[in-house]
Chains A and B, each alone.
Chain A
Amino acid sequence: MPERGLRLSCRRLKDWVEERYDVEAIRKLATHKLVPVHQYEIWYYTGGIAMFLFILQFITGMVLSFYYIPHFEWAHKSIIEIVTKLNMGWFFRSIHHWGAQLAITVLFIHLFSTLLLKSYRKPREVTWVTGFMLLGISIFFGLSGYLLLWDERAFAAVRVATGGAGNLPFIGGFIKAFLRGGIDVTGDTLTRFYAFHVAILPIVSLLIIGVHVLLVQVHGMSVPLSLEKKPQKTIPFFPNLFYKDLIVWLVVLGIMVTLATFLPPEIGKRADPLAPAPENIKPEWYFLFLFQTLKLFPGEILGLNGETIAIILITCGILFFFLIPFFDRKSSRGEPSPVFTWIGIMYTLYFAVMTVIGFIT
């Protein structure tokens, strides 16, 4: 009898929703959306994994924010308390840490696969732009979250990163002062980074994710140039690809939990603005390619500051990378563009090699 009542209530709720909203249209959209099947389809999963990790980051971040104190005198202590005193606190912090590492790794894989498969070509230029912006935001998420730890390594890393941004001509000084909230990295920087990390960046990223996902729905999945003219086999997004996505997400979740259990992130000594920077400090892995590039330049080039020249060149390189869909006209016309394939390979190799060198040296 109660089962019948429950079924009736569910039926009423369903009718209530369907009378007000066009649920059938959403169902049709999900079942009618087709996804191409080919040898490169594995790269389609990276976008879904990134979104799954973003959701996990939001959840674990919310849990951590209940206990974190964004004040330079209490920040470090509050994290120690989260890790040592709270039930499962160490686990949530570790999951948040590894979630961030995996999300940025997956985003880089997603970016380079999009670049090499030329999925950025017409009409998906704006999708590329929003994706690139999301990667930039994720890196800033990482940097701002790193400082929240308020230990000596995070402090030194943020001092170097914001100092590097300050070397940009004209706007560098403004960016540096804006990020630091003053001349040097202080408690004001911590408050500012906290605001970025928990309020500004989540809102901006949610908006851009919305646009990115919407554009993917509008244009559909991109097919590589070499396969575009061949007859395509397709499968429905729902349920076929959705179930495959679920399997991949479960595996990613398992890997993340395993990493969080076996390799929980360390907590260093509390940051002391007056103490010298600790020896052999390295930035987070996704900044290593920049760090290694800066090392290649001498202190002075033709009487100019070497670091400034390096920062300008890196900025130009990143800007070119960002605007690649607008330069690669051939692939937009559906013609092969080997020059841009080689440019893509060079960018991918440079990033990978410099990151590895930075890691092992």
Chain B
Amino acid sequence: MKRFISTLGFIISSAATALAEEKIEVFPSVSYDQYTIYQNLAIFWIAIIGLIVIIRMKLREIERIQKMGIDKAEKDIPLLD
């Protein structure tokens, strides 16, 4: 019985080792690194949303000017150099 248990234990441990070897970590496993990555992702999204808000505001301003019809340059306008 003792022999059987030790054999079984060996098989399970070697299988676990084999499985652990097969699995290649494709993402940092250290929790500190993971925390940094998720934090950076959150900052990245905040930056994207911020940029979208700025572009949207700029676009609205352009549309407002276009609606007023003052976006086109007048012909033969004197230039100050």
A binding-site residues for B, Cβ under 8 Å: 80, 83-84, 90, 93-94, 236, 239-240, 243-244, 246-247, 250-251, 253-254, 257-258, 261, 264-267, 269
Q: Interface digits, B10-49 against A, CB 8 Å rule (1 contact, 0 not)? A: 0000000000001011111000000001100100110010
Q: Does B26 contact A246, Cβ atoms closer than 8 Å?
A: no
Interface of B (DSSP majority class): helix
Q: Does A253 contact B48, Cβ atoms closer than 8 Å?
A: yes
A250-B51, A258-B41 as given contacts; A80 in contact with B24, CB under 8 Å: yes
Indicate the member of B24, B28, B38, B58 with the most A CB atoms within 10 Å.
B24
Q: How far is the CA of A232 from the CA of B57 in the complex (A)?
A: 26
Q: Is the CB of B8 closer than 8 A to any CB of chain A?
A: no
List chain A residues, Cβ under 8 A from B55: 243, 246-247, 250
Q: Shortest distance in angstroms between A124's beta carbon and chain B's nearest beta carbon?
A: 28
Q: Does A257 contact B59, Cβ atoms closer than 8 Å?
A: no
Query: How many interface residues does B have (CB within 8 Å)?
Result: 21
Q: Does A269 contact B22, Cβ atoms closer than 8 Å?
A: yes
Q: Shortest distance in angstroms between A37's beta carbon and chain B's nearest beta carbon?
A: 12
Q: Is the CB of B64 closer than 8 A to any CB of chain A?
A: no
30 residue pairs bridging A and B, Cβ less than 8 Å apart: A83-B24, A83-B25, A83-B26, A84-B24, A90-B26, A93-B26, A236-B66, A239-B62, A240-B59, A240-B62, A240-B63, A243-B59, A244-B59, A247-B52, A247-B55, A250-B51, A250-B52, A250-B55, A251-B48, A251-B52, A253-B48, A254-B44, A254-B45, A254-B48, A257-B41, A261-B37, A261-B41, A264-B26, A267-B26, A269-B22
Q: Does B52 contact A84, Cβ atoms closer than 8 Å?
A: no
List chain B residues, Cβ under 8 A from A243: 55, 58-59, 62
List chain B residues, Cβ under 8 A from A267: 24, 26
List chain A residues, Cβ under 8 A from B22: 269
List chain B residues, Cβ under 8 A from A265: 26
List chain A residues, Cβ under 8 A from B66: 236, 240
Q: How far is the CA of A239 from the CA of B64 in the complex (A)?
A: 13
Of chain B, the residue at the smallest CB distance from A250 is B48
Please name 11 further chain A to chain B contacts, defined as beta carbons within 8 Å, in addition to the given A246-B55, A250-B52, A264-B26, sorted by A numbering: A84-B24, A84-B25, A90-B27, A236-B66, A243-B58, A247-B52, A250-B48, A250-B55, A261-B41, A265-B26, A267-B26
